[in-house]
Structure 1
Amino acid sequence: MGQFLEVLIGGLLSGVLYSLVALGFVLIFKASGVFNFAQGAMVLLAGLALVRSLDFLVTKGFPLWAAITIGIGFAAVIMAITAWLIERFVIGPLVNQDGLTLFMSTIGATFILEGAAQMIFGSDAYPLRLFPTDAWFLFENLFPGGILVNKLDVWGGLIAGILVAGLAIFFQRTKTGRALRAVADDHLAAQSVGIPISWIWFVVWFVAGLVALVAATVWGTKLGVQFSITFLALKALPVLIIGGFTSVPGAIVGGLIVGAGEKIAEVFLGPHIGGGIEYWFAYVLALAVLLVRPQGLFGERIIERI
Protein backbone atom coordinates (compact mmCIF):
# COMPACT_ATOMS: atom_id res chain seq x y z
CA MET A 1 0.00 0.00 0.00
CA GLY A 2 2.82 2.39 0.83
CA GLN A 3 4.50 1.79 -2.52
CA PHE A 4 1.24 2.38 -4.39
CA LEU A 5 0.63 5.67 -2.57
CA GLU A 6 4.18 6.82 -3.24
CA VAL A 7 3.87 6.04 -6.96
CA LEU A 8 0.42 7.65 -7.13
CA ILE A 9 1.49 10.85 -5.38
CA GLY A 10 4.66 11.09 -7.47
CA GLY A 11 2.65 10.58 -10.64
CA LEU A 12 0.05 13.19 -9.72
CA LEU A 13 2.71 15.77 -8.94
CA SER A 14 4.61 14.96 -12.15
CA GLY A 15 1.36 15.38 -14.05
CA VAL A 16 1.00 18.89 -12.68
CA LEU A 17 4.34 19.76 -14.29
CA TYR A 18 2.95 18.59 -17.65
CA SER A 19 -0.05 20.81 -17.02
CA LEU A 20 2.16 23.89 -16.69
CA VAL A 21 3.14 23.46 -20.34
CA ALA A 22 -0.37 22.49 -21.45
CA LEU A 23 -1.81 25.70 -19.98
CA GLY A 24 0.05 27.75 -22.59
CA PHE A 25 -1.57 25.72 -25.38
CA VAL A 26 -5.01 26.16 -23.83
CA LEU A 27 -4.61 29.93 -23.56
CA ILE A 28 -3.73 30.37 -27.23
CA PHE A 29 -6.37 27.94 -28.48
CA LYS A 30 -9.09 29.29 -26.20
CA ALA A 31 -8.52 32.88 -27.30
CA SER A 32 -7.65 32.53 -30.98
CA GLY A 33 -8.51 29.00 -32.08
CA VAL A 34 -4.84 28.41 -32.96
CA PHE A 35 -2.95 25.32 -31.85
CA ASN A 36 0.37 26.87 -30.86
CA PHE A 37 3.05 24.33 -31.72
CA ALA A 38 5.65 26.91 -30.65
CA GLN A 39 4.79 26.69 -26.94
CA GLY A 40 7.71 24.34 -26.23
CA ALA A 41 10.10 26.74 -27.98
CA MET A 42 8.68 29.58 -25.88
CA VAL A 43 9.50 27.61 -22.73
CA LEU A 44 13.07 27.18 -24.01
CA LEU A 45 13.41 30.89 -24.87
CA ALA A 46 12.04 32.01 -21.49
CA GLY A 47 14.30 29.58 -19.64
CA LEU A 48 17.43 30.64 -21.52
CA ALA A 49 16.68 34.33 -21.01
CA LEU A 50 16.20 33.75 -17.29
CA VAL A 51 19.19 31.53 -16.60
CA ARG A 52 21.64 33.55 -18.70
CA SER A 53 20.57 36.84 -17.08
CA LEU A 54 20.90 35.21 -13.63
CA ASP A 55 24.43 34.03 -14.44
CA PHE A 56 25.42 37.50 -15.64
CA LEU A 57 23.94 39.32 -12.63
CA VAL A 58 25.43 36.92 -10.07
CA THR A 59 28.91 37.25 -11.60
CA LYS A 60 28.53 41.04 -11.36
CA GLY A 61 28.01 40.75 -7.63
CA PHE A 62 24.24 41.22 -7.38
CA PRO A 63 22.56 39.61 -4.35
CA LEU A 64 20.72 36.42 -5.28
CA TRP A 65 17.27 37.86 -4.54
CA ALA A 66 17.97 40.91 -6.70
CA ALA A 67 19.39 38.77 -9.51
CA ILE A 68 16.28 36.55 -9.49
CA THR A 69 13.94 39.55 -9.51
CA ILE A 70 15.74 41.31 -12.34
CA GLY A 71 16.21 38.06 -14.25
CA ILE A 72 12.50 37.24 -14.15
CA GLY A 73 11.69 40.79 -15.24
CA PHE A 74 14.15 40.55 -18.14
CA ALA A 75 12.70 37.21 -19.25
CA ALA A 76 9.17 38.68 -19.07
CA VAL A 77 10.27 41.55 -21.33
CA ILE A 78 11.73 39.02 -23.79
CA MET A 79 8.40 37.18 -23.86
CA ALA A 80 6.54 40.47 -24.43
CA ILE A 81 8.79 41.24 -27.40
CA THR A 82 8.27 37.69 -28.69
CA ALA A 83 4.49 38.06 -28.37
CA TRP A 84 4.56 41.34 -30.31
CA LEU A 85 6.73 39.89 -33.09
CA ILE A 86 4.54 36.80 -33.46
CA GLU A 87 1.36 38.88 -33.56
CA ARG A 88 2.86 41.45 -35.93
CA PHE A 89 4.59 39.18 -38.44
CA VAL A 90 3.07 35.70 -38.06
CA ILE A 91 -0.51 35.64 -36.75
CA GLY A 92 -1.65 39.17 -37.60
CA PRO A 93 -1.20 38.88 -41.38
CA LEU A 94 -3.14 35.59 -41.31
CA VAL A 95 -6.33 36.86 -39.66
CA ASN A 96 -9.40 34.89 -40.79
CA GLN A 97 -7.31 32.17 -42.44
CA ASP A 98 -8.20 28.54 -41.79
CA GLY A 99 -6.85 26.70 -38.77
CA LEU A 100 -4.37 24.59 -40.73
CA THR A 101 -2.66 27.70 -42.12
CA LEU A 102 -2.36 29.20 -38.64
CA PHE A 103 -1.05 25.91 -37.25
CA MET A 104 1.64 25.70 -39.94
CA SER A 105 2.69 29.27 -39.15
CA THR A 106 3.32 28.29 -35.51
CA ILE A 107 5.53 25.41 -36.70
CA GLY A 108 7.62 27.95 -38.59
CA ALA A 109 7.71 30.16 -35.50
CA THR A 110 8.97 27.17 -33.50
CA PHE A 111 12.14 26.79 -35.54
CA ILE A 112 12.76 30.53 -35.62
CA LEU A 113 12.43 30.80 -31.82
CA GLU A 114 14.65 27.76 -31.22
CA GLY A 115 17.36 29.10 -33.50
CA ALA A 116 17.16 32.66 -32.18
CA ALA A 117 17.18 31.53 -28.55
CA GLN A 118 20.30 29.42 -28.96
CA MET A 119 22.03 32.00 -31.16
CA ILE A 120 21.50 34.79 -28.60
CA PHE A 121 21.79 32.92 -25.29
CA GLY A 122 23.85 29.84 -26.20
CA SER A 123 23.08 26.18 -26.77
CA ASP A 124 24.65 24.53 -23.72
CA ALA A 125 22.70 22.90 -20.89
CA TYR A 126 22.43 25.42 -18.06
CA PRO A 127 21.53 24.41 -14.49
CA LEU A 128 18.78 26.41 -12.80
CA ARG A 129 18.12 26.16 -9.08
CA LEU A 130 15.16 28.28 -8.08
CA PHE A 131 13.33 25.58 -6.09
CA PRO A 132 14.52 22.88 -3.68
CA THR A 133 15.11 19.50 -5.33
CA ASP A 134 15.41 17.27 -2.27
CA ALA A 135 12.54 15.21 -0.87
CA TRP A 136 10.40 14.63 2.20
CA PHE A 137 9.73 11.26 3.79
CA LEU A 138 6.12 11.37 4.97
CA PHE A 139 4.00 8.96 7.06
CA GLU A 140 7.02 7.06 8.38
CA ASN A 141 4.88 5.86 11.29
CA LEU A 142 2.34 4.28 8.95
CA PHE A 143 4.54 2.77 6.24
CA PRO A 144 8.05 1.28 6.50
CA GLY A 145 10.52 3.87 5.23
CA GLY A 146 7.77 6.45 4.69
CA ILE A 147 6.51 7.89 1.41
CA LEU A 148 8.97 9.83 -0.74
CA VAL A 149 7.63 13.20 -2.00
CA ASN A 150 9.80 15.47 -4.14
CA LYS A 151 9.74 19.12 -3.01
CA LEU A 152 10.08 20.42 -6.56
CA ASP A 153 6.92 18.57 -7.60
CA VAL A 154 5.05 20.10 -4.66
CA TRP A 155 6.20 23.57 -5.68
CA GLY A 156 5.02 22.85 -9.20
CA GLY A 157 1.60 21.84 -7.89
CA LEU A 158 1.25 25.03 -5.84
CA ILE A 159 2.28 27.20 -8.80
CA ALA A 160 -0.14 25.40 -11.13
CA GLY A 161 -2.99 25.92 -8.66
CA ILE A 162 -2.29 29.64 -8.45
CA LEU A 163 -2.09 29.89 -12.25
CA VAL A 164 -5.39 28.12 -12.76
CA ALA A 165 -7.15 30.36 -10.26
CA GLY A 166 -5.66 33.49 -11.81
CA LEU A 167 -6.48 32.46 -15.37
CA ALA A 168 -10.05 31.50 -14.44
CA ILE A 169 -10.60 34.94 -12.92
CA PHE A 170 -8.95 36.57 -15.95
CA PHE A 171 -11.20 34.82 -18.48
CA GLN A 172 -14.44 35.05 -16.53
CA ARG A 173 -14.22 38.37 -14.66
CA THR A 174 -12.25 40.79 -16.81
CA LYS A 175 -13.27 42.71 -19.92
CA THR A 176 -10.14 41.57 -21.76
CA GLY A 177 -10.83 37.94 -20.89
CA ARG A 178 -14.36 38.13 -22.30
CA ALA A 179 -12.99 39.82 -25.43
CA LEU A 180 -10.54 36.95 -25.84
CA ARG A 181 -13.38 34.44 -25.84
CA ALA A 182 -15.33 36.54 -28.35
CA VAL A 183 -12.36 36.64 -30.72
CA ALA A 184 -12.00 32.87 -30.48
CA ASP A 185 -15.66 32.36 -31.43
CA ASP A 186 -15.59 34.56 -34.54
CA HIS A 187 -12.83 36.91 -35.67
CA LEU A 188 -15.03 38.89 -38.07
CA ALA A 189 -17.87 39.33 -35.59
CA ALA A 190 -15.41 40.49 -32.93
CA GLN A 191 -13.97 43.04 -35.33
CA SER A 192 -17.44 44.27 -36.28
CA VAL A 193 -18.22 45.22 -32.66
CA GLY A 194 -14.97 47.09 -32.24
CA ILE A 195 -12.73 44.54 -30.51
CA PRO A 196 -9.09 45.23 -31.54
CA ILE A 197 -7.92 41.77 -32.62
CA SER A 198 -4.25 42.72 -32.87
CA TRP A 199 -4.19 43.93 -29.25
CA ILE A 200 -6.15 40.92 -28.01
CA TRP A 201 -3.80 38.48 -29.72
CA PHE A 202 -0.77 40.29 -28.33
CA VAL A 203 -2.22 40.01 -24.82
CA VAL A 204 -2.97 36.30 -25.09
CA TRP A 205 0.45 35.47 -26.59
CA PHE A 206 2.11 37.52 -23.87
CA VAL A 207 0.14 35.74 -21.14
CA ALA A 208 1.07 32.41 -22.74
CA GLY A 209 4.67 33.60 -22.72
CA LEU A 210 4.44 34.30 -18.98
CA VAL A 211 3.02 30.81 -18.46
CA ALA A 212 5.96 29.48 -20.49
CA LEU A 213 8.30 31.41 -18.18
CA VAL A 214 6.72 29.83 -15.11
CA ALA A 215 6.99 26.38 -16.71
CA ALA A 216 10.64 27.10 -17.55
CA THR A 217 11.48 27.87 -13.91
CA VAL A 218 10.13 24.50 -12.78
CA TRP A 219 11.29 22.34 -15.69
CA GLY A 220 14.63 24.16 -15.83
CA THR A 221 15.19 23.27 -12.17
CA LYS A 222 14.18 19.67 -12.87
CA LEU A 223 16.07 19.01 -16.12
CA GLY A 224 18.31 22.03 -16.63
CA VAL A 225 17.62 24.61 -19.34
CA GLN A 226 18.47 22.80 -22.58
CA PHE A 227 17.19 22.17 -26.08
CA SER A 228 15.23 19.05 -25.06
CA ILE A 229 12.75 21.27 -23.17
CA THR A 230 11.11 22.03 -26.51
CA PHE A 231 9.88 18.43 -26.67
CA LEU A 232 7.61 19.16 -23.70
CA ALA A 233 5.13 20.27 -26.36
CA LEU A 234 4.77 16.65 -27.45
CA LYS A 235 4.28 15.50 -23.86
CA ALA A 236 1.58 18.11 -23.34
CA LEU A 237 -0.42 16.96 -26.39
CA PRO A 238 -2.12 13.95 -24.74
CA VAL A 239 -2.83 16.15 -21.71
CA LEU A 240 -4.71 18.56 -23.98
CA ILE A 241 -6.60 15.79 -25.76
CA ILE A 242 -7.76 14.29 -22.47
CA GLY A 243 -8.62 17.55 -20.70
CA GLY A 244 -9.92 19.51 -23.68
CA PHE A 245 -8.23 22.20 -25.76
CA THR A 246 -10.40 25.00 -24.39
CA SER A 247 -10.48 24.20 -20.68
CA VAL A 248 -7.98 25.60 -18.17
CA PRO A 249 -9.11 23.19 -15.40
CA GLY A 250 -9.08 20.42 -18.01
CA ALA A 251 -5.34 20.99 -18.55
CA ILE A 252 -4.74 20.32 -14.86
CA VAL A 253 -7.02 17.28 -14.68
CA GLY A 254 -5.55 15.89 -17.90
CA GLY A 255 -2.06 16.30 -16.51
CA LEU A 256 -3.01 14.52 -13.30
CA ILE A 257 -4.52 11.61 -15.23
CA VAL A 258 -1.51 11.29 -17.52
CA GLY A 259 1.06 11.64 -14.74
CA ALA A 260 -0.59 9.17 -12.38
CA GLY A 261 -1.51 6.71 -15.14
CA GLU A 262 1.94 6.48 -16.70
CA LYS A 263 3.75 6.11 -13.35
CA ILE A 264 1.39 3.41 -12.10
CA ALA A 265 1.58 1.57 -15.43
CA GLU A 266 5.38 1.78 -15.49
CA VAL A 267 5.84 0.46 -11.96
CA PHE A 268 3.13 -2.21 -11.80
CA LEU A 269 2.68 -3.26 -15.44
CA GLY A 270 6.22 -2.69 -16.66
CA PRO A 271 7.71 -5.84 -15.08
CA HIS A 272 5.08 -7.96 -16.84
CA ILE A 273 4.92 -6.44 -20.35
CA GLY A 274 8.27 -4.65 -20.64
CA GLY A 275 9.69 -1.25 -19.75
CA GLY A 276 9.24 2.10 -21.44
CA ILE A 277 5.50 2.24 -20.80
CA GLU A 278 5.63 5.86 -19.65
CA TYR A 279 6.78 6.93 -23.13
CA TRP A 280 3.65 5.69 -24.92
CA PHE A 281 0.99 5.17 -22.24
CA ALA A 282 -0.26 8.80 -22.38
CA TYR A 283 -0.90 8.58 -26.13
CA VAL A 284 -2.83 5.33 -25.82
CA LEU A 285 -4.93 6.91 -23.07
CA ALA A 286 -5.52 10.00 -25.24
CA LEU A 287 -6.65 7.78 -28.13
CA ALA A 288 -9.13 6.04 -25.84
CA VAL A 289 -10.58 9.40 -24.77
CA LEU A 290 -10.83 10.53 -28.40
CA LEU A 291 -12.91 7.48 -29.25
CA VAL A 292 -15.38 8.21 -26.44
CA ARG A 293 -15.35 12.00 -26.16
CA PRO A 294 -13.48 13.73 -29.03
CA GLN A 295 -13.66 17.20 -27.40
CA GLY A 296 -11.97 15.96 -24.22
CA LEU A 297 -13.34 15.52 -20.73
CA PHE A 298 -13.82 19.25 -20.14
CA GLY A 299 -13.94 20.50 -23.74
CA GLU A 300 -16.90 22.35 -25.13
CA ARG A 301 -19.25 20.15 -27.12
CA ILE A 302 -19.64 21.50 -30.64
CA ILE A 303 -23.18 21.42 -32.02
CA GLU A 304 -23.61 22.15 -35.72
CA ARG A 305 -27.06 22.72 -37.18
CA ILE A 306 -27.60 21.98 -40.83
Structure 2
Amino acid sequence: MFSGVASSWGQRGWSRLTVSRSARDYSPLLSLALFAPLLLLLSFSFLYPVGRLLAGSLFAPELNVDRYIRLFLEPVYLRVLWRTFEIAFVVMLASFVLGYPVALAMAKLKGTWAAIVAACVLIPLWTSVLVRSYAWIVLLQRNGLVNTVLQEAGLTTAPLRLIYTEGAVIMAMTHVLLPYMILPIYAAVRTIPDDLERAAKNLGAGGWTVFLRITLPLSLPGVFAGALMTFILSLGFYITPALVGGPRTLMMGTLIGQQATVLLDWPFAGALSVVLLAATLLLLSVFRKALSFNKGVSGV
Protein backbone atom coordinates (compact mmCIF):
# COMPACT_ATOMS: atom_id res chain seq x y z
CA MET A 1 0.00 0.00 0.00
CA PHE A 2 2.81 2.39 0.91
CA SER A 3 4.58 1.73 -2.37
CA GLY A 4 1.37 2.45 -4.27
CA VAL A 5 0.90 5.77 -2.45
CA ALA A 6 4.54 6.70 -3.10
CA SER A 7 4.19 5.81 -6.74
CA SER A 8 1.04 7.92 -7.00
CA TRP A 9 2.75 10.90 -5.38
CA GLY A 10 5.79 10.46 -7.60
CA GLN A 11 3.72 10.47 -10.78
CA ARG A 12 1.76 13.47 -9.58
CA GLY A 13 4.94 15.40 -8.76
CA TRP A 14 6.50 14.52 -12.12
CA SER A 15 3.35 15.68 -13.92
CA ARG A 16 3.52 18.99 -12.06
CA LEU A 17 7.08 19.49 -13.25
CA THR A 18 6.47 18.53 -16.85
CA VAL A 19 3.07 20.12 -17.50
CA SER A 20 3.41 23.77 -18.54
CA ARG A 21 1.90 26.30 -16.20
CA SER A 22 0.41 29.69 -16.89
CA ALA A 23 2.26 32.78 -15.72
CA ARG A 24 -0.72 33.59 -13.52
CA ASP A 25 0.02 30.49 -11.40
CA TYR A 26 3.36 31.90 -10.22
CA SER A 27 3.57 34.14 -7.21
CA PRO A 28 4.78 37.74 -7.72
CA LEU A 29 8.01 36.93 -5.89
CA LEU A 30 8.78 33.94 -8.11
CA SER A 31 7.89 35.91 -11.23
CA LEU A 32 10.29 38.67 -10.14
CA ALA A 33 13.01 36.10 -9.51
CA LEU A 34 12.57 34.69 -13.00
CA PHE A 35 12.61 38.19 -14.50
CA ALA A 36 15.59 39.43 -12.45
CA PRO A 37 18.42 38.15 -14.74
CA LEU A 38 16.94 39.89 -17.79
CA LEU A 39 16.34 43.03 -15.76
CA LEU A 40 19.95 43.06 -14.54
CA LEU A 41 21.26 42.51 -18.06
CA LEU A 42 19.11 45.35 -19.41
CA SER A 43 20.19 47.64 -16.58
CA PHE A 44 23.92 47.10 -17.07
CA SER A 45 23.88 47.04 -20.87
CA PHE A 46 21.44 49.89 -21.59
CA LEU A 47 20.07 51.82 -18.62
CA TYR A 48 23.41 52.38 -16.88
CA PRO A 49 25.31 53.60 -20.00
CA VAL A 50 22.43 55.88 -21.02
CA GLY A 51 22.24 57.23 -17.48
CA ARG A 52 25.98 57.91 -17.48
CA LEU A 53 25.70 59.70 -20.83
CA LEU A 54 22.86 61.87 -19.56
CA ALA A 55 24.62 62.63 -16.29
CA GLY A 56 27.92 63.37 -18.05
CA SER A 57 26.29 65.73 -20.51
CA LEU A 58 24.58 67.69 -17.74
CA PHE A 59 26.85 67.38 -14.68
CA ALA A 60 30.44 67.41 -15.93
CA PRO A 61 31.72 68.70 -13.58
CA GLU A 62 28.62 70.65 -12.49
CA LEU A 63 25.17 71.42 -13.85
CA ASN A 64 25.72 72.90 -17.29
CA VAL A 65 23.32 73.05 -20.24
CA ASP A 66 25.69 74.99 -22.49
CA ARG A 67 26.45 71.84 -24.47
CA TYR A 68 22.82 71.46 -25.48
CA ILE A 69 22.57 75.17 -26.27
CA ARG A 70 25.70 74.88 -28.41
CA LEU A 71 24.23 71.90 -30.24
CA PHE A 72 21.10 73.82 -31.25
CA LEU A 73 22.76 77.18 -31.92
CA GLU A 74 25.58 76.00 -34.20
CA PRO A 75 24.15 75.14 -37.63
CA VAL A 76 26.70 72.42 -38.36
CA TYR A 77 25.29 70.07 -35.74
CA LEU A 78 21.71 70.61 -36.86
CA ARG A 79 22.77 69.91 -40.46
CA VAL A 80 24.40 66.67 -39.39
CA LEU A 81 21.28 65.68 -37.44
CA TRP A 82 19.05 66.50 -40.41
CA ARG A 83 21.35 64.63 -42.80
CA THR A 84 21.22 61.59 -40.51
CA PHE A 85 17.42 61.46 -40.56
CA GLU A 86 17.32 62.21 -44.28
CA ILE A 87 19.71 59.37 -45.15
CA ALA A 88 17.88 57.01 -42.79
CA PHE A 89 14.58 57.81 -44.51
CA VAL A 90 16.02 57.30 -48.01
CA VAL A 91 17.62 54.01 -46.94
CA MET A 92 14.29 52.86 -45.53
CA LEU A 93 12.52 53.65 -48.83
CA ALA A 94 15.25 52.03 -50.93
CA SER A 95 15.15 48.92 -48.74
CA PHE A 96 11.40 48.68 -49.20
CA VAL A 97 11.52 49.13 -52.99
CA LEU A 98 14.29 46.55 -53.37
CA GLY A 99 13.24 44.20 -50.59
CA TYR A 100 9.53 43.77 -51.17
CA PRO A 101 9.86 41.88 -54.49
CA VAL A 102 12.53 39.65 -52.97
CA ALA A 103 10.34 38.89 -49.94
CA LEU A 104 7.41 38.16 -52.24
CA ALA A 105 9.57 35.80 -54.32
CA MET A 106 10.81 34.03 -51.17
CA ALA A 107 7.22 33.46 -50.05
CA LYS A 108 5.92 32.30 -53.44
CA LEU A 109 8.80 30.21 -54.78
CA LYS A 110 9.15 26.54 -53.94
CA GLY A 111 11.98 24.05 -53.78
CA THR A 112 15.45 24.89 -55.03
CA TRP A 113 14.70 28.43 -56.17
CA ALA A 114 13.27 29.34 -52.77
CA ALA A 115 16.43 28.03 -51.09
CA ILE A 116 18.64 30.01 -53.48
CA VAL A 117 16.78 33.26 -52.84
CA ALA A 118 16.84 32.67 -49.07
CA ALA A 119 20.60 32.02 -49.21
CA CYS A 120 21.16 35.25 -51.16
CA VAL A 121 19.34 37.11 -48.39
CA LEU A 122 20.84 35.38 -45.35
CA ILE A 123 24.49 34.96 -46.37
CA PRO A 124 25.15 38.74 -46.55
CA LEU A 125 23.45 39.06 -43.15
CA TRP A 126 26.10 36.74 -41.68
CA THR A 127 28.95 38.76 -43.21
CA SER A 128 30.64 41.48 -41.20
CA VAL A 129 29.49 45.05 -41.84
CA LEU A 130 33.13 46.07 -42.06
CA VAL A 131 33.78 43.57 -44.85
CA ARG A 132 30.75 44.69 -46.82
CA SER A 133 31.71 48.35 -46.43
CA TYR A 134 35.24 47.67 -47.73
CA ALA A 135 33.70 45.77 -50.65
CA TRP A 136 31.86 48.94 -51.66
CA ILE A 137 35.13 50.87 -51.47
CA VAL A 138 36.69 48.38 -53.88
CA LEU A 139 33.74 48.76 -56.24
CA LEU A 140 33.36 52.55 -56.15
CA GLN A 141 36.90 53.87 -55.77
CA ARG A 142 38.61 55.87 -58.53
CA ASN A 143 40.23 52.79 -60.06
CA GLY A 144 37.53 50.43 -58.90
CA LEU A 145 35.45 47.96 -60.81
CA VAL A 146 32.60 50.34 -61.66
CA ASN A 147 34.84 53.08 -63.07
CA THR A 148 36.91 50.53 -64.97
CA VAL A 149 33.82 49.04 -66.64
CA LEU A 150 32.42 52.47 -67.51
CA GLN A 151 35.67 53.61 -69.10
CA GLU A 152 36.25 50.40 -71.04
CA ALA A 153 32.67 50.56 -72.34
CA GLY A 154 33.28 54.11 -73.56
CA LEU A 155 30.59 55.62 -71.36
CA THR A 156 33.03 57.89 -69.53
CA THR A 157 36.39 59.39 -70.43
CA ALA A 158 37.62 59.88 -66.86
CA PRO A 159 36.92 58.19 -63.54
CA LEU A 160 33.76 59.38 -61.84
CA ARG A 161 33.66 60.45 -58.24
CA LEU A 162 31.58 57.65 -56.78
CA ILE A 163 33.17 57.09 -53.39
CA TYR A 164 32.84 59.51 -50.46
CA THR A 165 29.44 60.73 -51.58
CA GLU A 166 25.98 60.62 -50.06
CA GLY A 167 24.84 58.26 -52.78
CA ALA A 168 27.60 55.81 -51.90
CA VAL A 169 26.55 55.91 -48.24
CA ILE A 170 22.92 55.24 -49.16
CA MET A 171 23.84 52.31 -51.43
CA ALA A 172 26.15 50.72 -48.86
CA MET A 173 23.71 51.16 -45.98
CA THR A 174 20.84 49.79 -48.07
CA HIS A 175 22.95 46.74 -48.90
CA VAL A 176 23.67 46.15 -45.22
CA LEU A 177 20.11 46.71 -43.97
CA LEU A 178 18.19 45.04 -46.79
CA PRO A 179 17.72 41.71 -44.93
CA TYR A 180 16.07 43.54 -42.03
CA MET A 181 13.39 44.70 -44.46
CA ILE A 182 13.05 41.44 -46.37
CA LEU A 183 12.61 39.02 -43.49
CA PRO A 184 9.63 40.72 -41.73
CA ILE A 185 7.83 41.18 -45.05
CA TYR A 186 8.52 37.55 -45.93
CA ALA A 187 7.07 36.42 -42.59
CA ALA A 188 3.94 38.53 -43.15
CA VAL A 189 3.39 37.34 -46.73
CA ARG A 190 3.77 33.72 -45.66
CA THR A 191 0.78 34.07 -43.35
CA ILE A 192 -1.55 35.19 -46.16
CA PRO A 193 -3.78 32.21 -47.13
CA ASP A 194 -3.52 31.18 -50.77
CA ASP A 195 -7.28 30.75 -50.85
CA LEU A 196 -7.75 34.52 -50.79
CA GLU A 197 -5.78 35.03 -53.99
CA ARG A 198 -7.48 32.09 -55.71
CA ALA A 199 -10.90 33.37 -54.72
CA ALA A 200 -10.10 36.86 -56.01
CA LYS A 201 -8.88 35.47 -59.34
CA ASN A 202 -11.99 33.30 -59.64
CA LEU A 203 -14.06 36.46 -59.22
CA GLY A 204 -12.26 38.08 -62.13
CA ALA A 205 -9.49 40.06 -60.40
CA GLY A 206 -6.24 40.49 -62.28
CA GLY A 207 -2.74 40.07 -60.91
CA TRP A 208 -2.27 43.75 -59.99
CA THR A 209 -5.71 43.94 -58.42
CA VAL A 210 -4.96 40.91 -56.25
CA PHE A 211 -1.66 42.47 -55.20
CA LEU A 212 -3.07 45.92 -54.43
CA ARG A 213 -6.27 44.74 -52.73
CA ILE A 214 -5.07 41.61 -50.90
CA THR A 215 -1.33 40.97 -50.78
CA LEU A 216 -0.08 44.48 -50.06
CA PRO A 217 -2.65 45.39 -47.36
CA LEU A 218 -2.24 42.09 -45.53
CA SER A 219 1.56 42.39 -45.64
CA LEU A 220 1.59 45.88 -44.12
CA PRO A 221 2.50 44.64 -40.60
CA GLY A 222 5.72 43.18 -42.04
CA VAL A 223 6.34 46.36 -44.04
CA PHE A 224 5.92 48.52 -40.94
CA ALA A 225 8.19 46.27 -38.86
CA GLY A 226 10.90 46.23 -41.54
CA ALA A 227 10.65 49.98 -42.09
CA LEU A 228 10.96 50.64 -38.37
CA MET A 229 14.00 48.39 -37.99
CA THR A 230 15.85 49.78 -41.01
CA PHE A 231 15.12 53.37 -40.03
CA ILE A 232 16.19 52.98 -36.40
CA LEU A 233 19.34 51.06 -37.34
CA SER A 234 20.23 53.65 -39.98
CA LEU A 235 20.20 56.44 -37.40
CA GLY A 236 23.03 54.85 -35.43
CA PHE A 237 25.23 53.66 -38.28
CA TYR A 238 28.91 54.38 -37.72
CA ILE A 239 31.24 52.12 -39.73
CA THR A 240 29.68 52.40 -43.19
CA PRO A 241 29.30 56.22 -43.29
CA ALA A 242 32.82 56.65 -41.91
CA LEU A 243 34.41 54.38 -44.53
CA VAL A 244 32.26 55.05 -47.59
CA GLY A 245 31.07 58.59 -46.93
CA GLY A 246 34.07 60.35 -45.48
CA PRO A 247 33.92 63.79 -43.84
CA ARG A 248 31.59 65.26 -46.48
CA THR A 249 28.70 63.00 -45.49
CA LEU A 250 29.10 63.15 -41.73
CA MET A 251 26.33 61.43 -39.74
CA MET A 252 25.53 61.56 -36.05
CA GLY A 253 27.19 58.25 -35.23
CA THR A 254 30.46 59.36 -36.82
CA LEU A 255 30.22 62.80 -35.20
CA ILE A 256 29.70 61.27 -31.76
CA GLY A 257 32.70 58.98 -32.32
CA GLN A 258 34.89 61.94 -33.31
CA GLN A 259 33.87 63.93 -30.25
CA ALA A 260 34.58 60.99 -27.93
CA THR A 261 37.77 59.49 -29.43
CA VAL A 262 39.45 62.33 -31.34
CA LEU A 263 38.51 65.51 -29.48
CA LEU A 264 38.01 63.68 -26.14
CA ASP A 265 34.96 65.84 -25.44
CA TRP A 266 32.93 63.18 -23.69
CA PRO A 267 30.30 65.55 -22.21
CA PHE A 268 29.45 66.97 -25.64
CA ALA A 269 29.45 63.48 -27.14
CA GLY A 270 26.98 62.53 -24.42
CA ALA A 271 24.80 65.51 -25.30
CA LEU A 272 24.79 64.49 -28.97
CA SER A 273 23.91 60.92 -27.99
CA VAL A 274 21.06 62.04 -25.74
CA VAL A 275 19.59 64.28 -28.46
CA LEU A 276 19.80 61.48 -31.03
CA LEU A 277 18.21 59.01 -28.60
CA ALA A 278 15.44 61.46 -27.70
CA ALA A 279 14.68 62.15 -31.37
CA THR A 280 14.65 58.41 -32.10
CA LEU A 281 12.27 57.67 -29.22
CA LEU A 282 10.01 60.53 -30.32
CA LEU A 283 9.83 59.20 -33.86
CA LEU A 284 9.27 55.70 -32.53
CA SER A 285 6.32 56.84 -30.44
CA VAL A 286 4.86 58.74 -33.40
CA PHE A 287 5.35 55.69 -35.60
CA ARG A 288 3.61 53.41 -33.10
CA LYS A 289 0.77 55.92 -32.76
CA ALA A 290 0.36 56.00 -36.52
CA LEU A 291 0.33 52.21 -36.66
CA SER A 292 -2.41 52.05 -34.06
CA PHE A 293 -4.79 53.51 -36.62
CA ASN A 294 -4.14 50.55 -38.88
CA LYS A 295 -6.53 47.73 -38.03
CA GLY A 296 -4.03 45.00 -38.87
CA VAL A 297 -1.23 46.29 -36.65
CA SER A 298 -3.07 47.84 -33.73
CA GLY A 299 -1.21 45.55 -31.39
CA VAL A 300 2.30 46.45 -32.53
Q: TM-score, normalised by structure 2?
A: 0.28
Structure with higher helix content:
2
The structure with the largest alpha-carbon Rg is 2
Which one has more relative contact order, counting CA pairs under 8 Å at least 6 apart?
1
